[in-house]
């Protein structure tokens, strides 16, 4: 049976990418695709290796039924570019950091998560954040230095983009 392996990537692997992983796992279970799409997450930075996700991210996720408590921070490795079919970054800085270490043959695996929200016509998902002057709908907002609202926006963005990502992957799973 064909499977697809996806690694979500942010800077610290304690806010955005664990949130994307938790949302994706939940949606895959609902879609009965948990055995077809393998999901993991990692950070480009090394500051939070071995740590549980940020308490604020865990709390916001739990309120929507996602359990992030068992995830632990890790840093992306060269081997990940081989292991995963898609390396899905949260923002342009993550893409730039990934491209620096990516073997040239694997470069096409690097994508932005929010591309998949756009593909599915769900770019409205970010709500109020879209009215912020520096909001870029191509990126998942970095909530680390902000208030609680940032974590809700991250969840909205991940929910929309993971729906789009699953829809985009379905044709690859028919065999
Ligand atoms: P994340 O958020 O990349 O979504 O996990 C951050 C976590 C930590 C830091 C920045 C962003 N930091 O500067 O330590």
| Residues 51, 14 contacting (CB under 8 angstroms) | yes
Q: How far apart are CA 166 and CA 30, in angstroms?
A: 11
| Residues 106, 77 contacting (CB under 8 angstroms) | no
pLDDT at 174: 83
Q: How far apart are CA 165 and CA 169, in angstroms?
A: 6
| Residues 40, 6 contacting (CB under 8 angstroms) | yes
Model pTM score: 0.95
Could you confirm whether 10 is annotated as catalytic?
yes
Q: Which of 17, 76, 94, 142 to mutate to test the pocket of ligand 1 (most atoms within 8 A of CB)?
A: 142
Could you confirm whether 102 is annotated as catalytic?
no
Exposure class string for 111-136: b at 16+ Cβ within 10 A, else e: bbbbbbbbebebbebbeebeeeeeee
Q: Is 142 in the pocket of ligand 1 (CB under 6 A)?
A: yes
> 21 Cβ partners below 8 Å, 6+ apart?
8, 39, 40, 41, 68, 71
Q: Where are the domains of the chain?
A: 4-173
pLDDT at 123: 55
Q: How far apart are CA 111 and CA 113, in angstroms?
A: 6
What is each CA distance from 174 to 7, 166, 170, 171, in whole angstroms? 21, 13, 7, 6
If one counts every other C-beta atom within 10 angstroms of the C-beta of residue 21, the result is 24
Q: Could you report the average pLDDT of every consecutive run of 10 residues in the chain (175 residues)?
A: 96 98 98 97 98 98 98 98 98 98 98 88 56 85 93 97 97 84
Please, what CATH class does the domain formed by 4-173 belong to?
alpha beta
pLDDT at 129: 60
If one counts every other C-beta atom within 10 angstroms of the C-beta of residue 173, the result is 14
**Among 7, 10, 158, 162, the one annotated catalytic:** 10
**Among 54, 80, 91, 142, the one annotated catalytic:** 142
């Amino acid at each position: 049976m064909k499977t697809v392996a996806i690694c979500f990537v942010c800077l610290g692997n304690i806010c955005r990418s664990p949130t994307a992983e938790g949302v994706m796992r939940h949606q895959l279970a609902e879609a009965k695709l948990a055995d077809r799409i393998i999901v993991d997450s990692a950070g480009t930075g090394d500051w939070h290796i071995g740590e549980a996700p940020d308490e604020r991210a865990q709390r916001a996720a739990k309120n929507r039924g996602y359990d992030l408590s068992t995830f632990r921070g890790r840093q992306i490795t060269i081997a990940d570019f081989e292991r995963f079919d898609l390396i899905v970054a949260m923002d342009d800085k993550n893409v730039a950091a990934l491209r620096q270490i990516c073997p040239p043959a694997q470069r096409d695996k690097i994508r932005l998560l929010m591309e998949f929200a756009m593909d599915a016509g769900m770019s409205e998902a970010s709500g109020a954040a879209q009215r912020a002057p520096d909001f870029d709908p191509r990126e998942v907002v970095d909530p680390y230095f902000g208030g609680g609202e940032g974590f809700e926006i991250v969840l909205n963005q991940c929910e929309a983009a993971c729906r789009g990502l699953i829809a985009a992957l379905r044709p690859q799973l028919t065999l």
